[in-house]
Amino acid sequence: MVKTPGIHHITAMVNDAQRNIDFYAGVLGLRLVKKTINFDRPEVYHLYFGNETGEPGTVITFFPWAKQPKGRIGTGQVGVTSYVIPTGSISFWKERLKKFGIRTIQNARFGEGYLQFQDPDGLELELVERNEGEVNHWRIGDITPEVAIKGFGGATLISAQPHKTADVLETVLGLECLGQEEGFLRFKSAPALGNIIDIKLTPSVRGLMGAGTVHHLAWRAKDEENLMSWRTLLQEKGYHPTEIRDRNYFKAVYFHEQGGILFEIATDLPGFTVDEPEVELGKKLMLPSWLESKREELEGILPAVGVPVFREIKD
């Protein structure tokens, strides 16, 4: 069986593009690695934030759309997105978030401490200290590599049928079950980032798609051959995967697992340097070739946005 190396990216919906950039780039210090549009709805941005090179396992993406109604986090969704920070940096983050007026709660599961908070649209996030994962050298504002977010720690899934979701993780995606503790089932895949998945076992409200909720979680496939074998396996198991879609930066297949969560499987390659060099990532609006002729029109519709450099507000 092919095993996924873990999370490729997580995609969520929010209302405001600039507020989204201010938070993920300005406050959390991630790099805006791609500024493009929703290929299915070109009048909406698709923003990607990750480590300095936008490696799989570090990338969160957003569709910011002002008119979108607010959603509700619940079953059939990713409930919490976890980020890994270097060991010893949690107090830095607690202070930094406080200075930006963001309330945090400290929590623990499976013997690890978590700093939990919400983004400006209400998405649930948390930071966890781990030794694993390469240092992120992207520098912005006061964030140094010693404290910078390395990438995803993983995610907590809120499934309408937790044991069916557990089955997909184990028998399709090849994750290993590590055990159960206080209402969570924990799974692990091999690599250092985006590799710990918790399934919440206690009841939750039904999730409603909209701003402030995760749209889908994408798993990593090494290449297109792996992607095709997963597509075949999904069909054999009675799922309904889409055709392989070309997302410019990766090829992808989408399917709903039985707990209601939209999963995607996406190839590691070609990656974000396919249409602009690493030093230029995220600076310019990138369009797929079939929309290049509409650049002027789209630039007129999309709100102007930029990456801020926030120095911490001194007391």
Q: By the criterion CB under 5 A, which residues form the site for Zn ion?
A: 11, 218, 264
Burial (Cβ within 10 Å: 0-12, 13-18, ≥19) of residue 109:
middle
Measured from the CB atom, the residue of 90 and 155 that comes closer to Zn ion is: 155
Measured from the CB atom, the residue of 144 and 226 that comes closer to Zn ion is: 226
Measured from the CB atom, the residue of 60 and 115 that comes closer to Zn ion is: 60
- Shortest Cβ distance from residue 11 to Zn ion (Å)? 5
* Residue position matching structure tokens 């570090």: 58
* Residue position matching structure tokens 């499987």: 265
- Shortest Cβ distance from residue 216 to Zn ion (Å)? 6
- For residues 314 and 268, what is the distance between their CA atoms, to the nearest angstrom? 41
- For residues 304 and 64, what is the distance between their CA atoms, to the nearest angstrom? 13
- Shortest Cβ distance from residue 237 to Zn ion (Å)? 21
- Shortest Cβ distance from residue 277 to Zn ion (Å)? 23
Measured from the CB atom, the residue of 96 and 216 that comes closer to Zn ion is: 216
Phi-psi region for residue 59, left (φ > 0), alpha (ψ -120 to 50) or beta?
beta
Measured from the CB atom, the residue of 86 and 151 that comes closer to Zn ion is: 151
- Shortest Cβ distance from residue 59 to Zn ion (Å)? 9
DSSP state of 275: S
Query: What are the distances in angstroms from CA 206 to CA 77, 97, 100, 209, 286?
Result: 9, 30, 31, 10, 36
